[in-house]
Chain A
């Protein structure tokens, strides 16, 4: 499988990830099929964002391990209060949405999605049965909002960014 493509085939993008044939993600308006865009933007949603992905493959990984990894991962971003909610992805089971407490908005905000890959995805690749893969994905924007107390994602990305805020804010160093 070529790994240097900006544009991916439907087979590698959907079929190999156990995405059903008629799944909405394959629709024109949920995937950028080289043309067209149809997304609603609001305070916590963008159409384009910086995505971070993590994957750990080993023998006998558990859901508890996934939570432990996520805890360590987010602690490094300065986010320590986490809760996990059962969710659904076509290619992971179990799946969890990761929530963190936003002190400014005074509510739990979703900061990422995660799960354990379904065996139906791994076995066809030739991986042994006892190998499990835990994975998670998140955007850069939401944890930044939480860490810096920003309430509207469009203050960080897009044409509504406050340039004075960018100029005045110190350079970003996440060291603890």
Chain B
């Protein structure tokens, strides 16, 4: 289960109120989260490396929140706040929109056939006129890391690269080249390295060395470049320093390369829906065009909304409650599943947003209705099938004594029962 660390006071500020630890614990429990630990950077360092190393570290209170493994939309402060605010009826579920650029065509990412051998898929999008603060920036980086660890399965399935669009110029090319033919200045370095040299350099890097085996033995390594040959990234290992995102960055080009296209699309959708909140036009994402080796083009991000229909009776029956159609629609809307009664009997139309890839079938919707209702508000009933059996007390006691009697030297024998 992933753990998300958030600064408590920032969390409360975003939620619009303060909570006691117990109150927040209760809120988490209701929603399906777990407030695992209340700590601070200082405490963590003190525990792991000793008190002397901890002096000077921040003692800002951190909440470590456990998030269900299938909820990629809750992996950062922004996602948690949005989920909780909608849950508490303080916020309407946002509407995420994909838009065309104000002028000119969309950014293009052209995939060449060389990638087929190593990492064939890619998706891309642009966040326009975004404003970062230090906290938002840290959260942005941290979300990518969380996604990498979880749905991306440690970058083996999907790797995320985010770039300052104003430092590069499209169209971008996603190709794969022999390690000796790749040379660029990676993030945080002062000089250029070939890919072969980078493999050696990062072998001792505590963070990056785990990702080297993903491409190390391949004849070609993935590479993304802009129209000037500037390297954006060598997925899944490292980005180029040239296009690094800074606090002042206003326009972001996001690319996800992958061996699993479904997951790449989900990852892209999660990042853009979460952080488009900070764009000048909130919750809008500028589209990008991906061109495949066979010439086919796709527009990303998908940001697909889909609709499902189910009956209030289905939900009432499965959960064991008895709510009206309108009330159930309201419950679902609180879970970011915008719903309305259709007017046909007790039918409800449910809209599943791009932030909820975990909602696959009707039972997933039903669970969300139950969560909004409150699991601990559901009446506990006994199934008619249920029989409560009881072990015969004499049998229970003899079972307990048998072993010890044998150990004391007695021999057990079975006599005839009849």
Contacts and interface: CB of A to CB of B under 8 A. Distances in A.
Most buried by B among A65, A93, A118, A120: A93
Contacts, number: 107
A154 interface: no
A61 interface: yes
A111 B206 CA distance: 36
B375 interface: yes
A22 B375 contact: no
Contact of B380 (A67, A118, A171, A172): A67
A24 to B, nearest CB: 8
Interface stretch (B124-132, B219-227, B274-282, B366-374): B366-374
Contacts of A87: 32, 68
Contacts of A69: 382-383, 386
B113 interface: no
A87 B71 CA distance: 10
B31 interface: yes
B320 A65 contact: yes
Nearest to B358: A88
Contacts of A24: 69, 153
Contacts of A119: 361-363
Given A85-B34, A87-B32, A173-B396, A64 B320 contact: yes
B19 interface: no
A86 B319 CA distance: 13
Chain B interface residue bracket vs A: 35 or more
Contact of B364 (A67, A93, A173): A93
Contact of B32 (A61, A83, A86, A120): A86
B68 A88 contact: yes
Contact of A86 (B31, B379, B393, B400): B31
Given A63-B319, A119-B361, A85 B375 contact: yes
A68 B29 contact: no
B157 interface: yes
A86 B386 contact: no
B317 interface: yes
A128 B397 CA distance: 42
* Interface secondary structure of A, over-half rule: mixed
B260 interface: yes
Contacts of A146: none
Contacts of A62: 317-320, 381
Contact of A72 (B31, B361, B364, B382): B382
A67 B361 contact: no
B247 interface: no
A94 interface: yes
B153 A22 contact: yes
Contacts of A93: 363-364, 366-367
Interface string A74-94: 001000000111111000011
B395 to A, nearest CB: 12
A11 B391 CA distance: 36
A58 B370 contact: no
B378 interface: yes
Contacts of B396: 173, 175
B204 interface: no
A135 B153 CA distance: 29
Contact of A83 (B319, B376, B381): B376
Nearest to B316: A62
Given A93-B363, A172-B400, A86 B371 contact: yes
B321 interface: yes
B148 to A, nearest CB: 14
Contacts of B401: 171
* Shortest beta-carbon contacts, A-B, top 10: A64-B320, A62-B320, A86-B32, A94-B367, A88-B68, A68-B380, A67-B380, A58-B385, A93-B363, A65-B383
Interface of A: 22, 24, 56-58, 60-65, 67-69, 71-72, 76, 83-88, 93-96, 116, 118-120, 132, 134, 171-173, 175
6 contacts: A22-B157, A60-B317, A87-B68, A93-B363, A120-B361, A175-B396
